[in-house]
Amino acid sequence: MVDKITKLLIANRGEIAVRIIRTCRRLGIKTIAIYTQVDSGAMHVRLADEAYSLGSDPYSYLNIYKIVEIAKRSGADAVHPGYGFLSEKAAFAKAVEDAGIIWVGPRWSIIDMLESKSVTRSIAHSIGVPVVPGALSPVTLAEAKKIAEELGFPILLKADRGGGGRGIRIIKSFEELEKLFNVAVEEMKTSFGSDKVYVEKFIPRARHIEVQILADHYGNVVALGERECSIQRRYQKVVEEAPSPIVTELERAKMYDYAVRFMKHVKYSNAGTIEFIRDEYGNFYLIEVNKRIQVEHPVTEMITGIDIVEQQIKIAEGRELEIRESVRKFNGHAIEARIYAEDPNTMLPSPGIITWVEFPRVEYVRIDHAIAPGIEITHFYDPMIAKVIAQGSTREEARVRLVKALSEFRIDGIKTSIPLLIEVLNTREFIEGRFDIQFLVEFFKQRKIT
């Protein structure tokens, strides 16, 4: 049964809200924005067909009750959660579904099951999808010590529930494990509402590579290619690209098999991402599933020509996937750079009011943003303010276009990470594709940035 979506509430803000509005306009779907008092002049509020206030609390984007009430009051057919905030909270998805409103994402029960990374690892292991050696369930300190003795140090201590790269600690000795275990547990309880942790082997020289998946309600699952996400700072992605410069055709086929097998097994529907670690020998290990659209989805869109938000909406309406085969041929290469409102010399936040914006005019470059003169960047939310995505027939052509676009991008009133991004993109390691998830650690050490 197909339920046509005519009015969609976007339970988010910033560039992802604006990006969703863009697709909805093309599909003839009316959009509803929500906003807090500090966001009353925000771009997503200006562009949506309707806008409703969440009140003065800047953290009301996390208020399930308020958002669902606005969705009902506004006559929304559907809710799109974007990424971050409540996008992977089963309780929010359930509240939306219980209100008789379409949730643009996987079913709440799937979100609830896969919110636990150890459950995800256990499922993958049971169906022959490799996971990083380590615990398949949450551990006590005593159990963590036993596993560490078997694996050898270093190990990773990770939050069972959480996201965005937070809740991860590299542990190098029994002394560190003894000292940090309970501290980590308390921190994770405060941050994620769960005190469960697990441990896994630390993979040196690892690459972080993920596979974009689309799945409908009829058992059809396809992969749209992989993304290279190894340029990270504190486990937060900074530069992403598609396809990966290191993945071979044989490796891609293997990743597709793992990703599609997993999603079919759990009866996943809508867009999702399987995240893998690739070791220096070409082995892949599943680490988690992102049950939402990803920040870096534009690079996949650029090389496939597929609007992932449009596909999300159609799947949520109950339509079958129009794409029945995983994508194996790509339209060149795409690279994305995330621009943060941060001082490039210290990486400290740089809140303030944007006084001037001059966008670059470079062919085959896309800019996802929610900025304009007069927009205030506050300290309440993630400091990412824009993404610049460049496409080229080759990786080098995409890189050159991206550097040119960043060089021409002018944002006055606040400091941004643009100079740092240009420097990273111009390193010999990036140009030659010789980097791993520790690359920025060494890069920042040389620049004396912590």
- Give the pLDDT confidence of 185-196 residue by residue, as tens digits: 887 777 677 788
Q: Quick one: pLDDT at residue 107?
A: 97
- Amino acid letter, 176: E
Give the residue from 344, 329, 300, 333 showing the smallest Cα distance to 401. 333
pLDDT tops 60 at residue 211: yes
Q: Quick one: pLDDT at residue 190?
A: 74
- 53 and 63 Cβ atoms separated by less than 8 Å: no
The percentage of residues in the chain with a pLDDT greater than 70, rounded to a whole number, is 98
Please write down the HEC assignment for all residues of the chain. Answer: CCCCCCEEEECCCHHHHHHHHHHHHHHCCEEEEEEEHHHCCCHHHHHCCEEEEEECCCCHHHCHHHHHHHHHHHCCCEEECCCCCCCCCHHHHHHHHHCCCEECCCCHHHHHHHCCHHHHHHHHHHCCCCECCECCCCCCHHHHHHHHHHHCCCEEEEECCCCCCCCEEEECCHHHHHHHHHHHHHHHHHHHCCCCEEEEECCCCCEEEEEEEEECCCCCEEEEEEEEEEEEECCEEEEEEECCCCCCHHHHHHHHHHHHHHHHHCCCCEEEEEEEEECCCCCEEEEEEECCCCCCHHHHHHHHCCCHHHHHHHHHCCCCCCCCCCCCCCCCEEEEEEEECECCCCCCECCEECCEEECCCCCCEEEEECCCCCCEECCCCCCEEEEEEEEECCHHHHHHHHHHHHHHCEEECCCCCHHHHHHHHCCHHHHHCCCCCCHHHHHHHHCCCC
Q: Which of 121, 161, 207, 292 is catalytic?
A: 292
Q: Quick one: pLDDT at residue 231?
A: 96
Give the pLDDT mean for 277-302: 96
341: tokens are: 């409102």
Quote the CA–CA distance of 121 and 139 in Å, as a whole number.
Answer: 14
pLDDT band at 165 (very low <50, low <70, confident <90, very high): low
Give the pLDDT mean for 179-190: 81
Give the strands of the sheet with 168-171, arranged side by side: 168-171, 155-159, 197-201
- 88 and 111 Cβ atoms separated by less than 8 Å: yes
346: tokens are: 């210290």
Quote the CA–CA distance of 194 and 332 in Å, as a whole number.
Answer: 42
- 33 and 16 Cβ atoms separated by less than 8 Å: no
Task: Give, in degrees to the nearest 5, the angle at Cα 325 between 322 and 326.
Answer: 115
- Give the pLDDT confidence of 253-277 residue by residue, as tens digits: 999 999 999 999 999 999 999 999 9
Quote the CA–CA distance of 154 and 234 in Å, as a whole number.
Answer: 17
Burial class of 409 by CB neighbour count within 10 A (0 to 12, 13 to 18, 19+): buried
239: tokens are: 């530069």
Give the residue from 209, 229, 271, 247 showing the smallest Cα distance to 328. 247
Q: Quick one: pLDDT at residue 445?
A: 84
- Give the pLDDT confidence of 337-365 residue by residue, as tens digits: 999 999 988 888 999 999 999 999 999 99
Q: Is 292 a catalytic residue?
A: yes
Give the residue from 183, 179, 177 showing the smallest Cα distance to 199. 177
Give the pLDDT mean for 299-320: 98
Q: Quick one: pLDDT at residue 163?
A: 62
111: tokens are: 């979100």
Quote the CA–CA distance of 431 and 438 in Å, as a whole number.
Answer: 16
Give the residue from 330, 335, 323 showing the smallest Cα distance to 260. 323
- Give the pLDDT confidence of 57-95 residue by residue, as tens digits: 999 999 999 999 999 999 999 999 999 999 999 999 999
Q: Provide φ and ψ at 411, rounded to 5°.
A: -130, 110
Q: Quick one: pLDDT at residue 164?
A: 59
Longest dimension (CA), the chain: 60
Q: At what angle do helices 308-316 and 14-27 cross, to 10 degrees?
A: 70
448: tokens are: 């004396």
The distance in angstroms from the start CA to the end CA of the chain is: 53
Task: List the domains of the chain with CATH numbers.
Answer: 7-104 (3.40.50.20), 133-201 (3.30.1490.20), 332-450 (3.30.470.20)
Higher-confidence residue of 236 and 52: namely 52
Q: Quick one: pLDDT at residue 166?
A: 66
- Average predicted confidence (pLDDT) for the chain: 94
The percentage of residues in the chain with a pLDDT greater than 90, rounded to a whole number, is 87
pLDDT tops 70 at residue 410: yes
Give the pLDDT mean for 288-296: 97
CA neighbours within 13 Å on the CB side: how many for 307?
12
Q: Quick one: pLDDT at residue 446?
A: 84
